[in-house]
Every structure is written in structure tokens, then in C-alpha cells.
Amino acid sequence: MPMPSILLQPLRCAANEASLASASSNSDLCNRLGFQATNGGSRDICAASESSTGRCSGKVQLGDALAYCEKTFGEGARLCTIGELESGETRQTGCQYDLEYVWSSTPCRAGYMWVSLGDPSLGGPSQCREFSDRAVVRCCAGHVAGTSTSSSLRSTPSTSTNPGNTQHTTRASSSTTTKTTTTTTTPTTTT
């Protein structure tokens, strides 16, 4: 069975726009979900990693990540965008995921989604990962006016005919520069 194109990383969730319309305010939505105000500076976004029962996502594929937020926290919880992750909206929201790569809801090319560290100030750049990879989940709620998931999309298509190649695309935070690193492994035979 083919997996939905949005599955396979640890997740952080955020509220979707339909749920926002039914909530009287972002604050009401965040309170209903039990989310905390974020550390990223936006008063319109709240986030959580750990459920009220202490449950954390663990490393999951994108498909599981997509379902995790709403299933765990309720209607209005969603995966965070790469912009929300990179701006630190989900840092220090539990599960000790600040140094883990977290699934975003932002595609980087067909079959791939952006992931970012739970606290991007602690290290490496965001990465473009296959849906079948595993990452953790942090969930978001709320909406920043004037933003769009597509505005944070940075596409770096690549193809390889060598099955020994491993390819990761990385993206520096708040930058339009992408870097592709290809590592070729050559099988060795001993006789």
C-alpha cells in the first residue's frame, strides 16, 4: 500500500486554518489543546510535543507523523511548517526533542519533506528527507498572518542512477541557499 506523501518524521503539530475559524481566537484554541505559548516570538503560534499523559511520538515515518497531532491533541493540532520550526516556535516544548530532527508539513520535492532540529539554534541546518525516513513530531496550533507553507519551500531536485548514492539536501535557516551532498559508496568484494 503506497504511503501518503506526507509521512515519516518525528512530529511537532500546529492548528489548521479550518479549526482556527471555529475558535474565537488563537488563545482559545491553544488553551483548548493544552499547548503552551511558543518561544519563537510569535504570539499567534503555540506548540506541544508531550501529551497531557506524558506521551511522545518517538521517531516515526511521515504518515504516522501526519496523524499524530490531531489524534494525540485533538482537532486543530497540526504538523508545524518548516518556517515555524526554523523560527524556534517549538523549542523547549517537551520530550527532549530539541536536538532531534522534527517533521514539518512543508514538502521540499516529490516524496520528501523538510525536517528541522527541535531547537534550530542548537545546531545543523534543516534537511530534505524521504517520507520513509524517521523523525520526531512536535505539533503547532495557530496561524501567522501573511505566511504560506509554500513560501518556505526550497526545492532541490536530484536524481541518481547509482543505487550506492545517499543524498541529503540541507537548507540553512532563513536562507534561500541549498546545498546537496552526495556520498558514493562502492561495494567491495573480497576473494
Res. 150: pLDDT tops 60: no
C-alpha distances (whole Å) from 92 to each of 11, 43, 111, 125 are: 14, 16, 29, 18
At residue 116, what are phi and psi to the nearest 5 degrees?
Answer: -140, 155
**pLDDT for 97 beyond 80:** yes
**Across residues 27-45, what is the average pLDDT?**
80
Has residue 41 got a pLDDT over 90? Answer: no
Residue 142 has which C-alpha cell? 495557530
pTM of the model: 0.67
Q: Rounded to whole angstroms, how far apart are CA atoms 132 and 62?
A: 7
Out of 67-71, 99-103, 165-169, which region has the weakest mean confidence (pLDDT)? 165-169
Q: What mean pLDDT comes out for the span 58-74?
A: 95
The closest alpha carbon to 172, from 131, 112, 123, belongs to: 123
